[in-house]
Structure 1
């Protein structure tokens, strides 16, 4: 049996890749950004893509016109809730979580999955927002589970925590945190994930980031060399022998993460760790503004791998817009795990079993 999905705030399609891998069929999608829409359309030609503002009545009416929808998914813009932004619940983009609720109320699917940043689930300042989401969906006939999941626990080589509001109709199993246990998978290291691409600028890894790397005049030191602020801008260095830190949508310039190529490819001692140790010990081993050429920014292809996009996935648009598409996406393997849990909950067998008890 085919379980049909309407996807909202679809972006480049990371969530939808995961849903399809889990066994769902995407029948319609909605996206505002033109570059992300072009990427989505290139990789999902059979999906009916509704491009433009979801709050435009014409677009909204198209979205809610589909019949027999089993699942609504989406990640409404998170800038109003993100610690990387101003964290303003009154940001107009924050209201789009309720537009998502409106679509669910109209389509009445068997389930819904709404993804957002962890702070929406954890901070007291957003308590009213999450309570309103849960109350509206409860009134619409859903039992709502709010789960904070880390992508690295599901095979994604990136530490990335996100909240998922998951609703299943009364009569279906309630989704609990234990339901995710069987889909957990240890993530590989950065070295294992991207090492095969080779050095930036080569034939196998050509889409480089040209933003310069300069040392911070007043570095902010932390216990780990891979936290704090050793460089100008917000691009932090990545440890090849660990997972990536969370990839931001603002990549493409000086917020793009930094890699020590000699450490990654030649297994030389990390310059970043040596520099950090010198600073901790009160030494300044390099002049302000200088950084060795062995340091460079993450490339587009590396970022796509760290978000677990398929290797043949095509991204369209200028490099900065491609980076934002990648950084905004739900990691595909994380989405797949969530999709599998929900599919199990709404499957006909589970539904009948629940009713027979």
Structure 2
């Protein structure tokens, strides 16, 4: 992908003009939100703890701080905090596993507890000692559940964006825009965020909206539901949930035995008339076969060497030609509460939710019988030649925010500026191509990200150990 974003170094943060933004991405992962930001022409910098995701980010040329988000707002601050100068937009997707259907369930049980802490933070906004005590309590919970186990520390991380918002307000530099996303079960938390942001209790007022969106309605070739919160500074700010141009996939209307039912579920309808009788006309959702073949055909022109590269030793790399294959996918997950009743999707339908276990899904009538990492990335709408690096690549892909979904939501958060940049950003994303960083640039990004150290941050596995599966497929 050829980006038209201006390259801005860590040492030269963006200005503070009306339409000048610099994004801080908390829990940045391998770069879904950052890819979207680049194609909107906006500089971003991400904070990420997982060393594998950081390796991908360095190779992709994304500005990165390899650290725990909590440490980066500590007092005294981490020396790398200097690279966050000028950030005025906050985005992020806190770890979702404890809130997801496929997780342990502790997050769902802890929603009331999280909302209680949210109110406690707001009440203590002028009491730094109490705020720090609450921070410590969440980071190292002393209470135990019925089974005698301590709560998963990631449950409290969903409140980290609030703490960054409060710190920015306390310093007199409130974020101009905020965009957060999580699994649908976190919507009640975003609703509490909305109340607080609009109440003025933090010292400033925002206008906020939140809802659950289906990514296939934005052209993502998979069914994936996300709870999003969008807020803009000012009680009268213009902010709205974006509307997709594609129909929601309804598996109840799909005959899984008819794996050749290509026309019904994937081909776009005639869109010459955008509105008919005041009703917006939408295309049928994009199928996984359409996305994979479109990506392959475009890369054949722009990056043919990538397509010719041989598969890796574990056959998880490479981009196989499935052009004539009328395949179907058998999910790794069961349906209807029956683990043996594996779901099926035709090549002419969107994929199941892409998770860290996508390599366990089986493809029938196609070779290889499992999606490669680049293919899984494309189903997430990452560029086909995105430089996935490090280990646990399937998990990186599954944990990421789909860039095509992110660009719509992020554009909505950036108001008129975002709307004006969206058409070009979508055009760039549609090339499916990414220019990775040069070895020298990747090395420099790694040096800055690690604070000039050659080794990983201390105890860098204490968060990674909790990174299990992502949200359950739907």
TM-score, normalisation: structure 1: 0.70
- Aligned-pair CA distance for 1:195: 4.1
Indicate the residue corresponding to 1:192 in structure 2.
Answer: 290
- Aligned-pair CA distance for 1:343: 1.7
Go from structure 1 to structure 2 and tell me whether the alpha carbon gap of 1:86 and 1:229 turns closer, same or farther (over 3 Å shift). Answer: closer
Go from structure 1 to structure 2 and tell me whether the alpha carbon gap of 1:245 and 1:68 turns closer, same or farther (over 3 Å shift). Answer: same
Q: What number of residue pairs does the alignment pair up? A: 287
The secondary structure found in structure 1 opposite 2:212 is strand
Q: Please list, as runs of the form range in 1=range in 2, the aligned pairs for 1:1-357 lying within 5 A after superposition.
A: 1-26=19-44, 28-45=45-62, 47=63, 49-56=64-71, 61-62=77-78, 66-89=84-107, 90=110, 91-107=152-168, 108-121=174-187, 127=188, 129-138=189-198, 139-140=201-202, 141-171=205-235, 173-177=237-241, 179-181=242-244, 187-195=285-293, 203=308, 206=311, 208-209=315-316, 236-252=343-359, 256-262=360-366, 296-318=369-391, 321-344=392-415
Go from structure 1 to structure 2 and tell me whether the alpha carbon gap of 1:117 and 1:185 turns closer, same or farther (over 3 Å shift). Answer: farther
The secondary structure found in structure 2 opposite 1:297 is coil
Go from structure 1 to structure 2 and tell me whether the alpha carbon gap of 1:57 and 1:340 turns closer, same or farther (over 3 Å shift). Answer: closer
Query: Aligned partners of 1:175 and 1:109: how far apart in 2?
Result: 15
- Aligned-pair CA distance for 1:209: 5.0
Which segments of 5 or more consecutive residues in structure 1 lack a partner in the other structure?
A: 122-126, 263-293, 350-357
Query: Aligned partners of 1:12 and 1:181: how far apart in 2?
Result: 24
Query: Aligned partners of 1:35 and 1:204: how far apart in 2?
Result: 22
- Aligned-pair CA distance for 1:73: 0.7
The secondary structure found in structure 2 opposite 1:80 is helix
Which segments of 5 or more consecutive residues in structure 2 lack a partner in the other structure?
A: 1-18, 111-151, 169-173, 247-281, 298-306, 318-329, 421-474
- Aligned-pair CA distance for 1:22: 2.5
- Aligned-pair CA distance for 1:25: 1.4
The secondary structure found in structure 2 opposite 1:326 is helix
**1:3–1:70 CA contact under 8 A, matched in 2:** yes
- Aligned-pair CA distance for 1:192: 1.5
Per-residue CA deviation, residues 49-70 of structure 1 (Å, 9 max, x unaligned), is 2112222256683587644433
Query: Aligned partners of 1:32 and 1:305: how far apart in 2?
Result: 24
Query: Aligned partners of 1:53 and 1:77: how far apart in 2?
Result: 12
- Aligned-pair CA distance for 1:345: 5.1
The secondary structure found in structure 1 opposite 2:43 is strand
Query: Aligned partners of 1:50 and 1:149: how far apart in 2?
Result: 29
Go from structure 1 to structure 2 and tell me whether the alpha carbon gap of 1:295 and 1:25 turns closer, same or farther (over 3 Å shift). Answer: closer
Query: Aligned partners of 1:205 and 1:155: how far apart in 2?
Result: 29
Indicate the residue corresponding to 1:291 in structure 2.
Answer: none
Go from structure 1 to structure 2 and tell me whether the alpha carbon gap of 1:57 and 1:193 turns closer, same or farther (over 3 Å shift). Answer: closer
- Aligned-pair CA distance for 1:96: 0.9
Indicate the residue corresponding to 2:250 in structure 1.
Answer: none
CA RMSD of aligned residues (A): 3.4
Go from structure 1 to structure 2 and tell me whether the alpha carbon gap of 1:237 and 1:104 turns closer, same or farther (over 3 Å shift). Answer: same
Query: Aligned partners of 1:308 and 1:39: how far apart in 2?
Result: 16
Query: Aligned partners of 2:48 and 2:38: how far apart in 1?
Result: 18
